[in-house]
Structure 1
Amino acid sequence: MFHSVINWFRRHPDLSVALIFAVLACALMSPFLLAPDAIMWPRSGLGSDLITYNWTSAQYIRQSLTNSGSFPLWWDTTMSGMPLAGNPAVRVFYPPILLSILLPISLFWGFAWVNTLSFWIAGIGMYVLARRTMPVGRCAAFIAALIFMLTPRISANIVGDMGYTAGLCWTPLTFACIRAAIDKRSLQWAILGGLCCGFLFTLNFVNFLYLGLFVAAYGLLQVYTLRHTPRKLLKLTGVGAFMLVVMAGAAAFMLFPLLTFLPYQSRQAFNLADANYLALPLPFLTEVLFPGPFKFPEWTFYAGLLPITFMMFSFRSPARREFWWWVGVLLFSVIFALGTATPLYGLVVQIVPGFSLMRVPSRMLMFAVMAIAALSALGIDVLLKNRRAISKNWVVLAVMLTLASVTGRYVMRRPEELDWLLGLFAGFSIIAASIALVLNPRQIKPILAICVVVELLPLAASYMRTASFEEIFATPPIANQIIEDDLNGDIFRIFSLRRELPDHLLTLNRLQSVDGLNSFQFTHYADLMREASGCPLEEVTAAIPACASPEVRADAYLLMQPVPELLGLLNVRYVLSSFELEDLPSSLHQIAQDGEYRLYLNDAELPRAFLANTGDLNAGRFAILQSPDVIPAAINQVGYGSFDLTVDAPESMTLVISETWAPGWQATIDGQAASIERVSDTLLGIELAEGTHHVQVNFSPSAFTIGVIVTLSTLILASVTLLYIRASQKQNAG
């Protein structure tokens, strides 16, 4: 039996590799797979987008499916509402995440399996990239895949936004398919590359743009190579165009609505200083030798001591073009990640389309890690093919690297943390691998692979910990009065100055707020909230209002002077603050205090829907507030992105609904389609004639509907074409 299993593995080496990756991924995620209710939490102590974005949006969808039986396209708990459809910051339409939402299982357990799949895809993708596009053997490709799969760059991010990290993990496979399509000028690979690009676009728009830059550079290199063969050049152009069509079709459900939102996005106002946010500080270049103690995902790019050693031997690789390509990727990525510390970043942002919409240049470091893994593959191939490439001096170098790494970890350690001892694992691995390479035993290949796992697996696990539901979802007791009002069926919003009630607590208690933390922001809403919160900052941050974020100033929240009337226009009844507000107007007064938390009641609150004189609307925001003609509208039902109202208009007036305007809102009056106007540049407005009317409003962007049809059609056509190509290849081979 044992020999049969061994023989099967030998006959199916690629399937064996895939199985090993699956086992390692499950081992790494085992604390969460074995405890369905355990929450993945970063040991950095910086919080997690897994809760802010992933759980919150997924739980909201579950609530909608349970309560209304419909899949929501609008998210109404944060920022007075924002789209789910076409929102690149929300990855709920990624099939594994969507499946975890629809299945009757714990969301956190479903997320653990999604992350397990992401680790596996990272390994498979890097293996395919090295095996199919680089002149290296199976062992070198396998070890390169282990390096990439177990890199702290992935494990540090995977306990954050799992959709974003899934995009990181798809990157090598996407690049492998694109390179194969370019190198072989293959229709089959072009389809696969287009489909992978579609996945990457919906998961990680930043990585999609960054990868596009490298694909363009590689394509130009190939064009230069084929400049004297017009037929091949024409075929390459056709393959590239076809791949773009498949990509656009596969991502159409996200791309089409996103294109309608982009003109209204706050990122259009980015300047270079905004975009430079979280650039890699120069001192963090020490991550080459040892991981930083803060475990901050954006600045993590340590790939291990063994990979650095393997990479040194890539200088001897006969594949010179491959070597220089990956050296170029590595250098460009690291220099770009430094942001405005060098001229390169500003130049690229100004020249390359789309880059002006991006910030956090350190996210380019993912390609640096991928380049280290690729160069390691070239170096390992040199070592395995030339056993005399290494001498006893490398053992001495290994010891020196170990001492430098362990010393750096110890000096930079955080108090009461023993993570610096993981440097001993790295030291053991690099010394053991060096000795094995000098002695050259028969089992050198598995020894090298085991050494990589021993170094990187414990390190990858050290970026994650389990957290309990009670730890993460503890609601401030002072919020009980707010929750009680909500249970009574009242419709209102909250404003938390420092996000004292973050998005996951809002969703858990089915509350709604005007503030929020999301990079997908409409300029008109951000401007209104800047005015309503009294925030003087003009910069764009991840929070609304900008003063709720420490990105510009750590004490920016102290600058806010809430304007009750404008908050009232947004249906704000309560203001929650963890510090005392001074010089308050009479319409905003404190009603409760619990420790540092203070709850204020806004007497200037307007209803969620009301009738106003059209002339007052045209006169500006304060004219609405001061108008005596504001009449509350009767709301029959508020859904998940929908309103059903019965409105009695004494004269021709405008129905105002306090919800963020965005392309995609649709309305009917007495069953007839009606247009929706922007009120105060931000809210929904519908003109009504005198009389009683039944008004229905819902968010249903036609761009999303068309996009879904195009995406499904693309997937069907791509599948049929691939099956046909495969059948033709078998027939020709036969």
Structure 2
Amino acid sequence: MPDIKDTGDSTHRIAITAVILLCLAPLLVKAPLLLGLLNADPTLLYAGLQQGLQHGPFGGFPPYPTIDPNIAFTSHTLGHRAILDILHGQWPWWNYYEGVGTPLAGEMQSAALFPLTWLLYFENGQLYMHLALQIIAGVSTYVLLRRMGIAQVGSVAAALAFQFNGTFAWLANAVINPIAFLPLTLIGVEIALERVASGRRGGAFWITIGLVAALYAGFPEVAYLDGLLILAWTLVRMMTLPSALRVRFLLRVSLAGVAALLLSAPILVAFFDYLPLGFTGDHLGNGYASAHLPATALIATLIPYIFGGIFQDRALMGFWGAVGGYAGITLMMLALCGIFGQRYRGLRIMLALWVFATVSLSYGLPGASILASIIPGLKLAAFYRYLPPSWEFSLCVLAALALNDVARSALQKRLRYAYGVTLILICAGCVVAHGAGIRPHGRYVLWALIFAALVLVSLAIILFRRNASSSRVALAVSIVLACESAMYFAAPVMSNPSRGMVDLVGVRFLQTNLGMQRFVTLGPLAPNYGSYFGIASINHNDLPIPRLWTDFVARKLDANADPIGFTGSIRVDPAGPSSQESLLKNLPNYLGVGVRYVLAPYYAPLPEETKAIGIKQVAADTNMRIYELSNPRPYFDAPACSLEAATRGELRANCTQRTTLTRLELYMPGWRAFVNGQDTAIRQVDEIFQQIDVPAGTSKVQFVFRPPHIEWAFVAFAIGLLMMLVELGMSATSRRAAMRV
């Protein structure tokens, strides 16, 4: 972490104390999970394997501990699979256990090459990963603000608010991974600005590190949207330099960005090679240009639980399914106050405009939708859900500036005005929601309103107390900000289950008996937990997903399945054919893709008459019944050959004549086959599978997948690494020279 600008023993002691506080705060709030009082394993809630599930202190389910179940379906399962591949000495380019094979690293949400993903190897690894992200976010924000000369009280409070921000609280899938690196990148911008202003070299190293981490973190939409804020920040800060130095500063930042792109080439090439071949849902054409959250729910940005817990109010399912974060009362009040002030005037205006524009865009306020057409790529992302981290961060910086102003000047009057405006916003939000017929109710809402009232009363006592010193006012408001942020964050934590077990009897059966065949689920063992447990499922719940496969599913397997969620339970038309009916109707096609077992809910067994067509129950546990199909197509098949497969990518063929070998793995550019070490052409066969020629006699056959152009990506990585090391060396040399002076 870059060092803080201030010097002196006292300052360093305070800084160390602040950093320790920022490291401990997330651990304290999530202590029930760390101590095992509550269970943080997403498998328990989302894998369809639970037994004896009991809710936590805040009831359930709903409320849920997170909005997006992709905490389990993509982040947990696919990230774990990627780490297992790496530990087995192979690049995580391909996932054999989803569909009939899909790209793994190129899918991005697995964050396959992201260093913190290694934590997913361990039990409770996702909890540790999220804690690490919070700590990075908090410490980076603190360092950034201290470098900008913000007082300790404002820097610590704003850093705490950001590490407990609304997106961290409500989302837990790969969406949150890049968030921590927004302030880290801006540290690099500020260091580069200072170096250019003082005529020194280097300083942009942390720009490269922050951007690289954000790109590898597994959610390019958030990385891109945060990048727009970084760009705006950079341009505004550039204007504070003399005109003769602006080009130099911009060049230094740009070179750091180029180095970051080069260093990120392996994951970007894997992603962009895959993207044209993938089904991407609404991320095409006009995409999300006209999508937004309901403006009637704006009050939730100030009082997050005014609509109850996550998914608790069925009338607001659409809101909960699309929202991406919140602010809070104290943060909004401080940000309103922080807009005014002369120091960092341009930055304050930019941050205020950013918040106004992005919140307006997210909630569909009049005129805001034009931004979706103007800003490149914006309409292709669900911006209403992925913009909140950037406006939450902007609010935190404005809040820090406000606390800094109040601590150093008698500006309580300005803070009181901001308090009044915040009250007006709360009242207006309540009136709008009430006018739309929204009637929050229940104990959760009652406690939320009581807590909001306590926050407002506490702020009123602090702000309207006579003869209070400015430093004490700043400290008191900072404490309220930190407490409010932590309490809002704790609500989803307390919605985790208190007890429960994952029943793995069926999973163990499949691990023992499935071999290289596949299974299909009609509900239990949710996708993509086949990837997690190393058992091949033709089901998927992912985006992007190979279009070749989604088209095949629609034509040959289940026309009523959702292209994104071929889960066995999600139906495009609830009145249409069920997944069970589609299975029985298209049984030869399921056998044709290598399906050996069918998983049905224990309470919804297959009908007895299926025995007549070769379907028999062979195992069961508390959640599922496992049925075996007769004569599934083998994974490897070659006429006139005996085959001995070591893995899905390597086998030995002993053939009496020259013949063809068919492999039930998805055909996709990037696959190469080697027969006795010789490169052999792969043909597309049976619409989606692979076929090669094999000679008579004994042959060693290998199949290898690497994203096309990946060799060039590694060359780019080497160049980017060299650029970063040169920049680091220049920074170190310049710093030593400055210290000697």
What is the TM-score normalised by the length of structure 1?
0.80
Q: What is the correspondence of 1:349-368 to structure 2 with a 5 Å cutoff?
A: 352-355=375-378, 357-359=380-382, 361-368=384-391
Matches of 2:482 and 2:662 in 1, distance apart?
Answer: 60
Matches of 2:348 and 2:366 in 1, distance apart?
Answer: 24
Aligned to 1:286, which of 294, 299, 305?
299
Tell me if 1:127 matches 2:142.
yes
Q: Which residue of 1 aligns with 2:40?
A: 39
Secondary structure in 2 matching 1:443:
helix
Secondary structure in 2 matching 1:685:
strand
Q: Report how many aligned residue pairs link the two structures.
A: 684
Q: Which residue of 1 aligns with 2:113?
A: 93
- Conserved? CA contact 2:517–2:595, under 8 Å: yes
1:570-590 per-residue CA deviation (whole Å, 9 max, x = no partner) reads: 211233345688999999665
Matches of 1:348 and 1:723 in 2, distance apart?
Answer: 41
- Conserved? CA contact 2:99–2:537, under 8 Å: yes
Q: What is the correspondence of 1:15-54 to structure 2 with a 5 Å cutoff?
A: 15-35=16-36, 38-39=39-40, 43-44=63-64, 48-54=69-75
Aligned to 1:320, which of 340, 345, 355?
345
Tell me if 1:569 matches 2:578.
no
Tell me if 1:82 matches 2:86.
no
Aligned to 2:409, which of 361, 383, 386?
386
Matches of 1:486 and 1:294 in 2, distance apart?
Answer: 38
Aligned to 1:697, which of 703, 711, 714?
703
Q: Which amino acid aligns with 1:668?
A: F
Q: Which residue of 1 aligns with 2:475?
A: 446
- Conserved? CA contact 1:590–1:601, under 8 Å: yes
Aligned to 1:377, which of 400, 408, 411?
400
Matches of 2:729 and 2:492 in 1, distance apart?
Answer: 42
Aligned to 1:111, which of 95, 117, 126?
126
Aligned to 1:246, which of 256, 259, 267?
259
- Conserved? CA contact 1:647–1:693, under 8 Å: yes
Matches of 1:732 and 1:392 in 2, distance apart?
Answer: 40
Q: In the TM superposition, what is the alpha-carbon distance from 1:464 to its structure 2 partner? A: 1.4
Q: In the TM superposition, what is the alpha-carbon distance from 1:26 to its structure 2 partner? A: 2.1
- Conserved? CA contact 1:337–1:363, under 8 Å: no
Q: Which residue of 2 aligns with 1:617?
A: none
Greater length-normalized contact order (CA 8 Å, ≥ 6 residues apart)? 2
Aligned to 1:196, which of 181, 194, 210?
210
Tell me if 1:145 matches 2:156.
no
Matches of 1:139 and 1:220 in 2, distance apart?
Answer: 28
Matches of 2:193 and 2:607 in 1, distance apart?
Answer: 64
Q: Which residue of 2 aligns with 1:412?
A: 440
Aligned to 2:488, which of 453, 456, 459?
459
Q: Which residue of 2 aligns with 1:607?
A: 634
Matches of 2:592 and 2:10 in 1, distance apart?
Answer: 67
- Conserved? CA contact 1:307–1:376, under 8 Å: yes
Q: Which residue of 2 aligns with 1:259?
A: 272
Q: Which amino acid aligns with 1:366?
A: P
Matches of 1:331 and 1:402 in 2, distance apart?
Answer: 14
Q: Which amino acid aligns with 1:50?
A: I
Q: What is the correspondence of 1:159-170 to structure 2 with a 5 Å cutoff?
A: 160-161=172-173, 163-170=174-181
Q: Which residue of 1 aligns with 2:736?
A: 730
Q: Which residue of 2 aligns with 1:677?
A: 683
Secondary structure in 1 matching 2:110:
coil
Q: In the TM superposition, what is the alpha-carbon distance from 1:199 to its structure 2 partner? A: 0.7
Residues 1:136 and 1:359: Cα distance change in structure 2 (over 3 Å):
same
Secondary structure in 2 matching 1:188:
coil
Matches of 1:471 and 1:180 in 2, distance apart?
Answer: 49
Secondary structure in 1 matching 2:413:
coil
- Conserved? CA contact 1:494–1:575, under 8 Å: yes
Q: Which amino acid aligns with 1:126?
A: T
Secondary structure in 2 matching 1:371:
helix
- Conserved? CA contact 1:576–1:599, under 8 Å: yes
- Conserved? CA contact 2:358–2:391, under 8 Å: yes
Secondary structure in 1 matching 2:387:
helix
1:392-412 per-residue CA deviation (whole Å, 9 max, x = no partner) reads: 966994996899699999962
Q: Which residue of 2 aligns with 1:515?
A: 539
Secondary structure in 2 matching 1:727:
helix
Q: Which amino acid aligns with 1:671?
A: G
Q: Which residue of 1 aligns with 2:78?
A: 57
Matches of 1:172 and 1:282 in 2, distance apart?
Answer: 29
Q: In the TM superposition, what is the alpha-carbon distance from 1:149 to its structure 2 partner? A: 1.8
Matches of 1:418 and 1:712 in 2, distance apart?
Answer: 57
Matches of 2:274 and 2:575 in 1, distance apart?
Answer: 32
1:98-131 per-residue CA deviation (whole Å, 9 max, x = no partner) reads: 2563xxxx431x4333222211221223334444
- Conserved? CA contact 2:455–2:484, under 8 Å: yes
- Conserved? CA contact 1:305–1:430, under 8 Å: no
Matches of 2:387 and 2:349 in 1, distance apart?
Answer: 19
- Conserved? CA contact 1:252–1:711, under 8 Å: yes
Secondary structure in 2 matching 1:666:
strand
Q: Please, which moves more after superposition, 595-604 or 205-214?
A: 595-604
More helix by proportion, 1 or 2? 1
Q: In the TM superposition, what is the alpha-carbon distance from 1:254 to its structure 2 partner? A: 1.0
- Conserved? CA contact 1:55–1:504, under 8 Å: no
Matches of 2:74 and 2:330 in 1, distance apart?
Answer: 35
Q: Which residue of 1 aligns with 2:666?
A: 660
Residues 1:207 and 1:180: Cα distance change in structure 2 (over 3 Å):
farther
Consecutive unaligned residues in structure 2, runs of 5 or more: 1-7, 46-62, 311-319
Q: What is the correspondence of 1:505-654 to structure 2 with a 5 Å cutoff?
A: 505-507=529-531, 509-536=533-560, 541=564, 543-544=565-566, 549=570, 558=578, 561-562=582-583, 563-578=586-601, 591-592=616-617, 601-603=628-630, 605-611=632-638, 634-638=643-647, 642-646=649-653, 648=655, 650-653=657-660
Matches of 1:129 and 1:70 in 2, distance apart?
Answer: 38
Q: Which residue of 2 aligns with 1:4?
A: none
- Conserved? CA contact 2:162–2:393, under 8 Å: yes
Aligned to 2:183, which of 172, 175, 186?
172
Matches of 1:437 and 1:570 in 2, distance apart?
Answer: 77
Matches of 2:367 and 2:662 in 1, distance apart?
Answer: 49
Residues 1:447 and 1:187: Cα distance change in structure 2 (over 3 Å):
same
- Conserved? CA contact 2:597–2:629, under 8 Å: yes
Q: In the TM superposition, what is the alpha-carbon distance from 1:329 to its structure 2 partner? A: 0.8
Q: Which amino acid aligns with 1:698?
A: V
Residues 1:238 and 1:413: Cα distance change in structure 2 (over 3 Å):
same
Q: Which residue of 1 aligns with 2:314?
A: none
CA RMSD after TM alignment: 4.3
Matches of 1:437 and 1:23 in 2, distance apart?
Answer: 35
Aligned to 1:721, which of 707, 712, 727?
727
Secondary structure in 1 matching 2:326:
coil
Consecutive unaligned residues in structure 1, runs of 5 or more: 1-6, 612-629
Q: In the TM superposition, what is the alpha-carbon distance from 1:512 to its structure 2 partner? A: 1.2
Matches of 1:393 and 1:63 in 2, distance apart?
Answer: 55
Q: Which residue of 2 aligns with 1:213?
A: 228
Q: Which amino acid aligns with 1:725?
A: S
Q: In the TM superposition, what is the alpha-carbon distance from 1:501 to its structure 2 partner? A: 1.8
